[in-house]
Structures are given as structure tokens and as C-alpha cells.
Structure 1
């Protein structure tokens, strides 16, 4: 435990000589494991206790003299019990106050009383205090010192902050305001109310009411502003392809910047277990893969901006100028678009109102523990849905996979189908779809439609995996996209008669180059890409090869 976070012993006496003596003896014996504070009156001690509570300090023991003007020791120790109910309370008394001390032990629930003088302390003071502090230590649970998130279980804002912190692997403690007295006390200590929730309390004690991810980013060490005016290559999106491009760009000496609007890893980053990625025979989570690559790119010299989004791309004298959401601009010689895809929304009654409050797009791993011994539903039959089902099955009572077809064979890998078949609490509902979701402030039940029949079923959570659309809306007026919004690259620009006029340069476009020279696309948002982590990593790596060729022209 850090020195400034040791538990505290507070001694209180209005007689300066006695106070000096008890302070000296306590420090001599206990300073290795405890801090010793002193107060010259009951009122001063009470103010100290309130200050310690506001600073979230830990109080182990209060040792107070009985006969003090203004506030007697018994009265102070009774007040101390309301502020620090777990701290040990000891009364210092003269021989004449023995009966009063015994009554206080019975009535005010003091832990002990000690006679003055206590010389020698090795016999008359230390053994008693050691016994009391040993008992306190056995029951003591050190307070959590990291980031804490206070909120409502069914708040979409709380859910978004959980996902943000988890996405950057920031350790945090979730505190449900409705069920946690500790959360309620902490909120009051910060002079905040339920209207300020969700609240993020940082390790230094700073409270951020209703923060945005950007508000938190700088506090946890993320960069939200570029450090340079011009880069060799800017990678937009930190999914597998973007992270691969950042690793290879930085390792090959390019001044590389990667911009991510949410959290690293993209859709792959939310996968609970990727088991078919080369080199990991036992599999690994998507977040682990993302953060390995993130760390690798930073070590090699890449710069990251997150959470930050690009809203506009324009070309000026061959340079690419990117406008960010905060209005700042970044210039670069080349761009790699790895914007990935976003989940398609489920269009049924009640879905918008309950999104983030029991209805989640993607795996939403931060909500898995809240599904313990409950029924959950998954919509979709792809690999992402299968991986989520296997993960949720370790918590939920029953996991139902809702698919419109007859089986998973057409859309899911064989290894996942076999795992699901061997998991007793996963059930597949073929020829079924969600017709409606219901609940007051959170999801309570789903309405299933199968063979024309409607049935209502209780549900703790609904996870939606029904395909994806490219996140390219902001750039489709600059680079050429197909009818579904996927970016067209390479030979498609010159061989397809529909796009023959889009490439207006003497050389042919490079394999991953868009209709704008020096702007490349890789990963799931590129037309014709294969939706696999390995292929995305490969395309991101290849894009840097073509960036080099473009810069050498």
C-alpha cells in the first residue's frame, strides 16, 4: 500500500502533554503500517473525520480522551461510528471515570477503554491496540483505488461508458446506484445527485458527471489532438486492418497517424473468442488481439488519436486534408481508409426505446455478468453471433439463437456449430424472428414469430447480429462507392464499364487504391473484401506497400 494511502490512527486530547505522548507512542509502534493524525479537541477531531470521509481515506482507530471541554470523548466516539462505522473506538480515561467508560462500552458500543497513564506502553497500551487493529485488519477490505463508474443498470449512457472503458482495457469498478449504498454515499460525498449520473470517479478522486468518451480520454492517457501538422500516412479506423497498417507503416519509417472514433478492434474487438486466427491454437479474445496490435504499433512509433472521428476528406495540391469532429485539421501525403462496418439495426416495435437498456448491438461483453441465471436471445446466424452465444452461455441460464433459416450451416463456421451443439444451455430457434421487444425502462420480454404464430417470452437481454453496413457515409462524395456504400478500389475502377470514367490518370490504380490517388481502402469497408480477421490484417499490411509506391512516384 502506498505511504499516503495507509490506514489512519486518530488520537484526540485537549491536554498538549498527553496528546504529544500518545502521538509519540503510536508513531513509534505503528508508523510502518499506519498514519497517525492528532486533534486537540472533539470539534477539531470531528472536522478531521468529515474531511477524511470526503477524501475517501481509511480510518482504522480513534483514541479519544473522555474529559474534554465542549465535546466529551464518548460523544465524539459515537459520532465517529456514524462516519466510519468499521473503525475501532477506544476511550482514554482517568481512574475516576472508569464506571462512565464501562457504561459507554455498553451504551455507545465502544471497543475498549484505557487507563491513564499507560506507562510502560509495551505492557499497558500496545497489546490492547494490536489486538484491536488485528481484528480490524481481518475484516478490512481495502477500497477500490482505480476508476469507478456510478450509474443505473438500465441506462444507455452507462452502457456506452462501460463499453468505452472496457474497449481501452481500463480497469474500472461498476457501481449500480440503485443497489449499492457505497455508490450512494460516494455520490453524496462528491456533492452530486442522481441527476448527474452516470458519474466517472477517477483514481485521483476527480468526479466527472455525465462525461463523454472524449472527456475521459485525456484523463486515461489517450491523445485527442494530433501532435504534428503533416504525416506520411493517416490510417482512419483501428480495426484489424487499420492496426496492421499502423504497425507496418510505423515499422517501415513512415510518419504514421491512426484515428479511431470509438474503441480499437472494430467488430472483431468485441468477439469473445477468435479461434481460427493463425498462430493462436487456443484462440484469443478480440480485445486482446486489438490491444496487442495497438501496443505494437505505439512501440514502433505510430501516433494514435482516440476517440476522434474524421468528418471530411479533401485534396489540396496533392495533399489530403482531414477535418476532425472538433474542427481541427490534419494533413497527410496518403490515407488508408479502414473504417470497417457497423451493425444493422433491428426494425421492430420498441427497439429504439430499449436500445442500450437490454437490447444491444454486438457482443456487449460488459453486460454478460448481469445476465447470470437469466434467459437471453441472440438474433443472427453468423460467426459473431456464435461466438457471443458461447460466451454468454457461461453466465446465462439459457441462450436462444433466433434464425430465419433452417440451420446455422449456411452462415457459421463448422467449429462454432459443433461447439454450440455440445453446449446444453444453447438452443437454436429456426424459422423464427423477433416481432417486438417489450418493457418499461428495460427489456422484459420478446415477442417471437414462428410459422405465423406469435409467442411472448421473458428475456433479460437481446443481442443483435443481423449483418453490417460500411461506415463510409462521410467519404462517399470523395471516393467512389458501390450501391451499398462499399469503397471501390484497384481494377474495379478500370475494368467495370460503370466506373470507367472514375480513374483519370495515366497509370493504373494500385490494387487497394481508390479513385483518388494516394487514398487507399482496406478491410471490411472495401468492396469485395472477405469478412475475416486474417484477410483484414493482410489488406492493411498490403496497403502500406502501395503507400510506399505512391510516395515514391
Structure 2
């Protein structure tokens, strides 16, 4: 971003040079110093700067100049840059005129010549003025801009992808900022094809997919090598931990994730029971740290969706959605779980248009001063309720049970009880929802009977469904799709393990394919547990590799 400008004006070249040198010495790192030898020339410079959309922070103008006095110039400069600070340089004889000009030109200060030493007579004054200017200055946003409407599922998907991948952006809703449509028209883009993502280099993507965004943003979507010691599928806490330990112990490690690093835990607004963070840590920040740590140790990350795994001659071939394949000795499944769909009238049609699965923290600001509804009584729902309570007027937690005690940690229950705008409604469930272009009404079944509630935002945290339908049929799962591993293979799936040796603790029914985290049968659904499993999985990977 270009530096803000300090513009010095004086017809005396020696004085002007002295002013510029003093300004450059003290402010050159943060500001661009520009000079002009007359008021007329300074006005021409100001008009050119406006055309280039440059910012002027301060004018420092001499009073006695032929053709246009300093006061006259500052009066006209006020119209071009009303927020810039205005300082007049005067001789002692002009002091009275300068005082009168404070109202006429709205100057902020006048300085008598000479100003030596500047450390005492110039810099302290300008420091105060520039600090005041910075308080009200909002630099123009030059990053990614997303133009889209709030209730569009595609718009939500774009913003969620950018947010979860920690990519800063500015969201512009044309309903609130009609000038956005003018901007699209200037670029020749049909405003009926929202969302549109505008980039700092002047290019744009219309209704982009996650893959389109990843390629444009330089996020790797293809593996650098064809063979790895370990391919980790999923970059949640378990996958990230496996990546850290695998890479640190010299294994060629690839981590493949279809959406964003962090998994379900990455969308948690605050995790307060994770060891080593007494004040808590957001899931996003924890994922960011793990991502950087794994990358520093040598793990490679790939934004892709794995569609199948097949095994040939003690090797495993991992196929991506784009058709590319990588081969590995060991594959670790750490795909986690997703929230189960709410099977009620209206839920599919309104998904992404007021109905969201998971925290969807990108929608928090949009819910300001509204009533938000949350379904679920586990920790993830409680963390979301606490986060939305900072923005919404009320947060309704709807749970079918009689209380939160059996499903939520006590620290969260205590926080919810102490938050006045969170309302826990027990023995309550949503039985239908409706709305034209977005969610408008919820039909609830409560202990008092059925009732309709006006609602525009519903966030769903009900149960855990494993993401395992893409795995080979030979890989044993329980009836719900959770992956069986270790001793549980024999207990739950007789005949699934066919080798003479016993399976390792986290090894699946296919030798060399391991599992860690929430997707494993009978796992503890906690972030710390997933991290632990991902870490110890690498120990069993080494043991397996030693048998090859």
C-alpha cells in the first residue's frame, strides 16, 4: 500500500529544502515526502494525487508566497483533502494573520520560522497532529473483495472458504452498498451472477468453486512428488498432529485436506480445556500454529479431495478428485466427522440461506442485533452460543434433553448460565422451517406444544456422521460408518483381519492403513484426544514400515 503523503510548500528553495530534509529524516519510513514551490503548483499536485487515489496526511505551507498565500492554498486544499492536517509556516510579523486564519482556513497549527531545533519545535507538534490523523484514517482496502448477498449459499461457501483458510477479505453486500453494482458494471460482469470475487491485481472470479479460489490464491492443489512414506487424509487436529510427528521423524509426509486446515475444531470460537492454554485458544489459531509447525518440519499440504484408496503389492494409491494419484507406504485416515443433516421439511432448500451446519463464524457479524437459534447441546454448540452472544440480541439453544449436564463440559455450562442473552430451551426441537429466499420461520415442538417462531439464522450441531463412504469396501466399519481398528477389529468384525500378526492399535482391516481421531470407532470426541491419536499413530507407522 502506498505511504500517506506529507506535502511541503514554500517558494524559497532553501527553506523548502530544509523543510523536506527535516521531514524525511523523521517521517520518511512511514510517509512519502512531496514538495511544491508555490500554492498553484501544490494544488495541481493535489489534483493528480486525487486521481491516483493517494492520501495526503498533512500540508505544511509557507504563508508569504507570490500569487497565492499559504492561507489561500490551505483553504482550497481543504476542499480536496478535508481530513488532512494543515500547518502554516509564518514569520513573526505574520503571527496575527495566522491566528485569524485558524477559522478561515481551519488550520490546525501555525509554526514560526525558524523551527530549529526540529526535535523541540517541529517534530513534537507534527507527531501529535499525525497521531490524531491516524486515529480517523481508514486506509483503502486493496485486498480481496467479495461482492455477494447474504442469503446465497454460494456466497456463504466462498466467504467460509476464505475465512477458514485465514485469507483476509472485504465482504460487500449490494443491498447495503449499491455502488458495488456499478463496480461490476465497469468490469463488464453481470450482476445476476453473484458472488464475484475481486482481486488486488484487477482480476475477478465469478461464482468460483473452492478449487478455483485455491488455484488463484496459490494454495497447492497438486502434490510435489509421486511417492510418500505417509499420506494423511484430513487436516483436523489428528491429521495435523500426525503431520508434525511424521515430518519431524524424517518421514516424507503429505497432508490432504478438501476444505481448510483445522477441521471441525478449526471453526470453534474458543477451546478452553486444551492443555497449555490457560486463557483458552480459538480453534482457528490452534490449527494455524499446527499448520505452521508441520510445514516448518517438512510436511507438505495439499488442498484436494481424496475420492478413493486402493492397495497394490503393499503400496497404497491415493486418488484425488482431479484425477491425480500419489503412492505411499502408509495411509492415515483422519477425516473426522460432520454434523448430521436435519431431516425436516424445508431444511435442504434453506441450507446455506439461513440454515448452517456447524459454527459458520463467517455469519456472526451478519447476525448483529438479531435472534439466533442453535440446535445441539454438546461443547461445539456451547462454544458457538458463547461466540454468537457477542453479536446477537438473543441466542436460543434448543436441546431435546432435559439439561446440558450430560453432553457439555461444566466450564461451558457455567459460562452459558452467566451470559444473560443466551436462553437454553430444554425438551425442544425444530420440526419444520420455512421461508421464501431464506429462513424466515421455525416450527418448534416444546413442552407446551407446537409454536412458530420468526427466525433468520439457525446453526445445527446434531450428532456426528463419519466421512467414510469413499473408502474401499475391504476396510471394516461399524454400522454407522466409524472405522474399526486394532483389537476392535476382531471384536466387531470377525474375519476382517487376515494376517498372522495382530493389528497395531490404530491399524484398520487393511494393513498399512491407519485411523486416528473422531472418525475411529469408539474414539473420545475431544480435540486433545484427536491430537494424541494422531501423534501415537506415527509410532505404529514406524513399526509397520519396519516389517516391509
Same fold (TM over 0.5): yes
Whole-angstrom CA distance in 1 between matches of 2:419 and 2:106: 55
Alpha carbons of 1:251 and 1:9: their partners in 2 closer, same or farther (altered >3 Å)?
Answer: closer
Q: Which residue of 1 aligns with 2:459?
A: 463
Matched ranges for 1:139-158 at <5 A:
139=133, 142-144=137-139, 147-155=143-151, 156-158=153-155
Contact kept? 2:236, 2:261, Cα under 8 Å: yes
Post-superposition offset of 1:24: 7.4
Q: Does 1:475 align with 2:477?
A: no
**Counterpart selection for 2:220 from 215, 219, 223:** 223
Alpha carbons of 1:22 and 1:314: their partners in 2 closer, same or farther (altered >3 Å)?
Answer: farther
Whole-angstrom CA distance in 2 between matches of 1:6 and 1:186: 28
Contact kept? 1:49, 1:83, Cα under 8 Å: no
- Superposition TM-score, scaled by structure 2 size: 0.77
Q: Which residue of 2 aligns with 1:298?
A: 295
- What is the CA deviation profile of residues 402-434 of structure 1, one whole-angstrom value per residue up to 9, with x for unaligned ones? 112222233223332233223222222122211
- Superposition TM-score, scaled by structure 1 size: 0.77
Whole-angstrom CA distance in 2 between matches of 1:540 and 1:400: 35
Contact kept? 1:177, 1:183, Cα under 8 Å: no
**Counterpart selection for 2:483 from 484, 487, 493:** 487
Contact kept? 1:61, 1:133, Cα under 8 Å: no
Whole-angstrom CA distance in 1 between matches of 2:186 and 2:520: 48
Whole-angstrom CA distance in 1 between matches of 2:127 and 2:409: 59
Q: Which residue of 1 aligns with 2:501?
A: 507
**Counterpart selection for 1:538 from 514, 532, 540:** 532
- What is the CA deviation profile of residues 486-545 of structure 1, one whole-angstrom value per residue up to 9, with x for unaligned ones? 112222333446x31x32322222221112111111111112222122221221122111
Whole-angstrom CA distance in 1 between matches of 2:477 and 2:458: 32
Post-superposition offset of 1:110: 12
Whole-angstrom CA distance in 2 between matches of 1:89 and 1:280: 48
Q: Which residue of 1 aligns with 2:70?
A: none
Post-superposition offset of 1:337: 0.4
Whole-angstrom CA distance in 2 between matches of 1:183 and 1:250: 49
Alpha carbons of 1:201 and 1:79: their partners in 2 closer, same or farther (altered >3 Å)?
Answer: farther
Whole-angstrom CA distance in 2 between matches of 1:5 and 1:276: 44
Post-superposition offset of 1:304: 1.2
Q: Does 1:403 align with 2:399?
A: yes
Whole-angstrom CA distance in 1 between matches of 2:490 and 2:445: 47
Q: Which runs of 4+ in 1 moved over 4 A?
A: 8-12, 20-39, 44-51, 56-63, 77-90, 131-146, 179-183, 218-221
Whole-angstrom CA distance in 2 between matches of 1:298 and 1:280: 22
**Counterpart selection for 1:201 from 199, 202, 205:** 199
Contact kept? 1:512, 1:546, Cα under 8 Å: yes
Query: Any stretches of 5+ residues in structure 2 without a counterpart?
Result: 62-73, 88-104, 108-113
Alpha carbons of 1:288 and 1:11: their partners in 2 closer, same or farther (altered >3 Å)?
Answer: closer
Matched ranges for 1:234-313 at <5 A:
234-305=231-302, 307-313=303-309
Alpha carbons of 1:187 and 1:281: their partners in 2 closer, same or farther (altered >3 Å)?
Answer: same
**Counterpart selection for 1:355 from 339, 345, 351:** 351
Q: Which residue of 1 aligns with 2:328?
A: 332
Matched ranges for 1:17-36 at <5 A:
35=32
Whole-angstrom CA distance in 2 between matches of 1:206 and 1:62: 35
Contact kept? 1:25, 1:121, Cα under 8 Å: no
Aligned residues: 524
Contact kept? 2:162, 2:169, Cα under 8 Å: no
Query: Any stretches of 5+ residues in structure 1 without a counterpart?
Result: 13-17, 64-76, 91-108, 112-119
Whole-angstrom CA distance in 1 between matches of 2:351 and 2:309: 31
Whole-angstrom CA distance in 1 between matches of 2:21 and 2:524: 70
Whole-angstrom CA distance in 1 between matches of 2:352 and 2:16: 54
Post-superposition offset of 1:245: 0.9
Whole-angstrom CA distance in 2 between matches of 1:404 and 1:428: 11
Whole-angstrom CA distance in 2 between matches of 1:444 and 1:206: 37
- What is the CA deviation profile of residues 278-311 of structure 1, one whole-angstrom value per residue up to 9, with x for unaligned ones? 3333322222222222222122221111x21111
Q: Which residue of 2 aligns with 1:165?
A: 162
Q: Which residue of 2 aligns with 1:388?
A: 384
Whole-angstrom CA distance in 1 between matches of 2:340 and 2:309: 25
> Alignment partner of 1:530: what SS?
coil
Post-superposition offset of 1:59: 8.4
Stretch moving more, 244-253 or 505-514: 505-514
Alpha carbons of 1:335 and 1:190: their partners in 2 closer, same or farther (altered >3 Å)?
Answer: farther
**Counterpart selection for 1:345 from 338, 341, 344:** 341
Whole-angstrom CA distance in 2 between matches of 1:475 and 1:518: 14
Whole-angstrom CA distance in 1 between matches of 2:408 and 2:288: 26
Stretch moving more, 503-512 or 335-344: 503-512
Matched ranges for 1:78-89 at <5 A:
none
Post-superposition offset of 1:334: 0.6
Contact kept? 1:157, 1:198, Cα under 8 Å: no
Contact kept? 1:403, 1:432, Cα under 8 Å: yes
**Counterpart selection for 1:368 from 354, 360, 364:** 364
- RMSD of aligned alpha carbons: 4.8
Whole-angstrom CA distance in 1 between matches of 2:163 and 2:16: 45
Contact kept? 2:518, 2:530, Cα under 8 Å: yes
> Alignment partner of 1:538: what SS?
helix
Whole-angstrom CA distance in 2 between matches of 1:479 and 1:240: 23
Q: Which residue of 1 aligns with 2:413?
A: 417
Matched ranges for 1:46-57 at <5 A:
48=48, 52-53=52-53
**Counterpart selection for 1:521 from 493, 515, 521:** 515
Post-superposition offset of 1:379: 0.6
Post-superposition offset of 1:471: 0.9
Alpha carbons of 1:84 and 1:361: their partners in 2 closer, same or farther (altered >3 Å)?
Answer: farther
- What is the CA deviation profile of residues 34-74 of structure 1, one whole-angstrom value per residue up to 9, with x for unaligned ones? 547799x99x9899557514xx76687799xxxxxxxxxxx
